[in-house]
Every structure is written in structure tokens, then in C-alpha cells.
Amino acid sequence: MGRCPLSLGYQAVGWNPQKKRYDMVVLSGLITYLAVFLGLAFTWFPHITIETAIIRAFGTAALILLHVILSIGPLCRISDRFLPLLYNRRHLGVIMFTVAAVHGTMSLVQFHALGDMGILASLFTSELPYLHQGWVPFQPLGALALLILFAMAATSHDFWLANLTAPMWKTLHSLVYVAYVCLVGHVVFGILQVETHPLWFGSLVLGAVWLTSIHLIAARKEHRLDVIQTHNAWISCGKWSDIPEDRAVLVCGHGERIAVFRYDGKISAVSNVCQHQNGPLGEGKIIDGCITCPWHGYQYLPDSGQSPPPFTEKIPTFRTKLEGDIVFVQAEPLPPGTQVPPTEVPK
């Protein structure tokens, strides 16, 4: 950001004790999983080689972690109890990439390093002779997924978010869905062609059904927020008492979401889009009298949409009014930084 911290009490991104605890829990879970997997593998398949056991342990661990990561976003949309997981998702992503990289590197060494061909040439050509028999090359699929995960892990730091710009960064990170599809292909056309126990195939299908279901449920919920109420000049936001103190409810105005905040006996409405990197202001809270973005802590005065001096960012504001207990917000935005008198409600 290159700016002084705008809020001491709202450190959404960066190391803090909570994040450290989170990482410790993830790493201990991972180590336990690997130990249990290896123990069971050597018990049930005493002739399995250590290399193969490690490749499979790390491969399955990466796949499970990817399912967890892909679950976090929609779960947060369904219930905000999961929000702490969202704020730490990037750490989980980097851990998952590391685990997948161990799987990929060991597979390269085990299956491609000992021949008379270069490792990468062998990786991309060893399955070609079987294509005419209906064989789907699963190893390049895994390599492509790993490449995407690498690009995501390498650009996960805020430095890249700032330099690539938020829309570009988000597009790059949306490729995780492509990586997931590639990984499903990698597993289905690879190991599951020989490991025919229904449990393995069934688990993968179940994972896909779970992810698809929660994405669809979340999309449905989100869709309601995105119904543009162009026919109404004023949009109902529900009872003022239903808006939590120092928090917002979201409604959809002309094209973008509006965050309607209640604070200190007042109601104000601003655009939901943070000027910094398009973070969701309506998911932030009021700290020290300012709307504080949950992503990096940029702050705005609720009644004017302006960052407190000396900062100069401005976001659009909206008129509000109270009819009985119901809060209304005008659908049409005012120019960024326009001062709007807040609507008074009982403290």
C-alpha cells in the first residue's frame, strides 16, 4: 500500500497470533494425515515402495486440501461463521501448493528421471504412444494443475495483489477452478484407472458433488443480493434494528452493491466497492468512526465516503431515509465523496 496503517484494530492481512495458530493447526493436521496414510499403506501393502507411498500420501493430501480451500469461499457466503478461514485462505493455498509440489517432484524423479530422455520431454511424451488406444494422458494434466498452483502461490503476497491490480489478480486466482478440473482428470485418468476399488472413485465424485452443491447454494444466495431494483428509486433495507451495530447490510442498487451501515445511532450508505482493490466494504466494520475495509484496512467516513485526512480516496454515497422502522436507500449513487446527512435512529 505504501501508506501508514489506517486501523490498528483491524489487521485483516498479515501475520498475527490468530494466523500463526491457524497455520500450526493446518501443519499438524497435515503431518498427522501423512503419518496415518503412510502407516496404513505399509500395513495393507507391505511391498509398496517408500517412494510410491510418499507420492500417494502427498498427492491425496494436496487433493483434500484443495477441496477444503475451494469450500471456504462458498461456505463464507452461506454463513459468516467461516469468515476466519477466508482471511487465512492464502496461507492454506501456499501449503497446498507445497504439498502438491512434493508429489509432482517425486513423481518426476520416480517415473521420468531414469530414462534416456529429458525429464520434461518424458513427462509430456511418454503417454503419446497409447493415445490411439483411448488413453488420456494424465501426467500433463497434473503438470498443468501444478503450474497454475505455482502461479497462484507465487503471487499470493499482497505485493502482487497491489502490482497486478485487483481484477487481474482475481482472474489469475480464479484459475484455481481450472486447476481443480485438471487435477480431477489427473486422478481419474491416472491412478483410478488401476485402483478400481469403488471407494476411491466414489470419494472423488462425492468431493465434486459437495463442491458443486455449496457453490450453487452460495450463488443462489448471492444472486438475491444482485437483483437490480431499477424500478425503485428507493430500496428497502429492512428494519434498522436488524442491522448489527457498526456493521452493514447489503442491497443492490443500479449495477453495484450498496453497503448500508448502522453506527452510533445513525444510518449511512456507501458503495460496497473499496477504492483500493475492490474489497467488499459491506463485510468490513466501523472502527474509530470509519468504515474499515476487511481486506487491507482502508478507511472511509460513512457520511461522506471520503478517507479521513490526509488521505484522498472517495467512494460514492447514497441518500437514506427511515419510514417507520424500515430503512430505505436511494438506488442512484451520488458522486464519490458527497456529504450526506446520516439518518438518525435510536441509539
Q: Which residues bind another protein (CB under 8 A)?
A: 45, 47-49, 52, 127, 130, 133-136, 166-167, 170-171, 174-175, 177-178, 180-181, 184-185, 188-189, 191-196, 201, 204-205, 208, 212, 215-216, 219, 222, 226, 255-257, 273, 278-280
Shortest CB 193 distance to another protein, Å:
5
Q: Which of 74, 142, 253, 279 contacts ligand FES by CB under 6 A?
A: 279
Beta strands per DSSP E along 122-162: none
**Smaller CB distance to ligand FES: residue 278 or 338?**
278
C-alpha cell at 12: 485483516
Which of ligand FES, another protein, none does 185 bind, CB closer than 5 to 8 A by kind?
another protein
Query: Is residue 137 within 8 Å of 127, Cβ to Cβ?
Result: yes
Q: Which of 186, 296, 314, 319 contacts ligand FES by CB under 6 A?
A: 296
**Smaller CB distance to another protein: residue 92 or 273?**
273
Dihedral angle over CA of 300, 303, 309, 311, nearest 10: 40
Return the amino acid letter for 23. Answer: D
**Smaller CB distance to ligand FES: residue 138 or 295?**
295
Shortest CB 97 distance to ligand FES, Å:
24
Which of another protein, ligand FES, none does 226 bind, CB closer than 5 to 8 A by kind?
another protein
Q: Residue 327: which H helix or E strand, with range?
A: strand 326-330
d(CA 263, CA 285): 9
Which of another protein, ligand FES, none does 130 bind, CB closer than 5 to 8 A by kind?
another protein
C-alpha cell at 57: 500420501
Q: Does 316 bind ligand FES (CB under 6 A)?
A: no
d(CA 333, CA 311): 22
Binding residues among 229-248 for ligand FES as defined by CB under 6 A: none
Which of another protein, ligand FES, none does 295 bind, CB closer than 5 to 8 A by kind?
ligand FES
Q: Is 264 helix (H, G, I), strand (E, B) or coil?
A: coil
Q: Does 7 bind ligand FES (CB under 6 A)?
A: no
Q: Which of 55, 69, 102, 274 contacts ligand FES by CB under 6 A?
A: 274
Q: Which window, 66-74, 90-98, 215-223, 293-301, contacts ligand FES (CB under 6 A)?
A: 293-301
Buried b (16+ CB within 10 A) or exposed e, 39-57: eebeeeeeeeeeeebbbbb
Query: 287 CB contacts (<8 Å, ≥6 apart)?
Result: 7, 9, 10, 246, 299
Query: Is residue 73 within 8 Å of 139, Cβ to Cβ?
Result: no
CA distances in angstroms from 17 to 22, 88, 92, 170, 254, listed in the order given? 8, 12, 16, 27, 41
Q: Does 270 bind ligand FES (CB under 6 A)?
A: no
**Smaller CB distance to ligand FES: residue 60 or 277?**
277
Query: Is residue 323 within 8 Å of 237, Cβ to Cβ?
Result: no
Torsion angles phi and psi, residue 344, rounded to 5:
-80, 135
d(CA 46, CA 296): 51
Shortest CB 144 distance to ligand FES, Å:
30
Q: Does 112 bind ligand FES (CB under 6 A)?
A: no
Which of ligand FES, another protein, none does 134 bind, CB closer than 5 to 8 A by kind?
another protein
d(CA 156, CA 14): 12
Shortest CB 274 distance to ligand FES, Å:
3
- Which positions touch ligand FES (CB under 6 A)? 274, 276-279, 293, 295-298
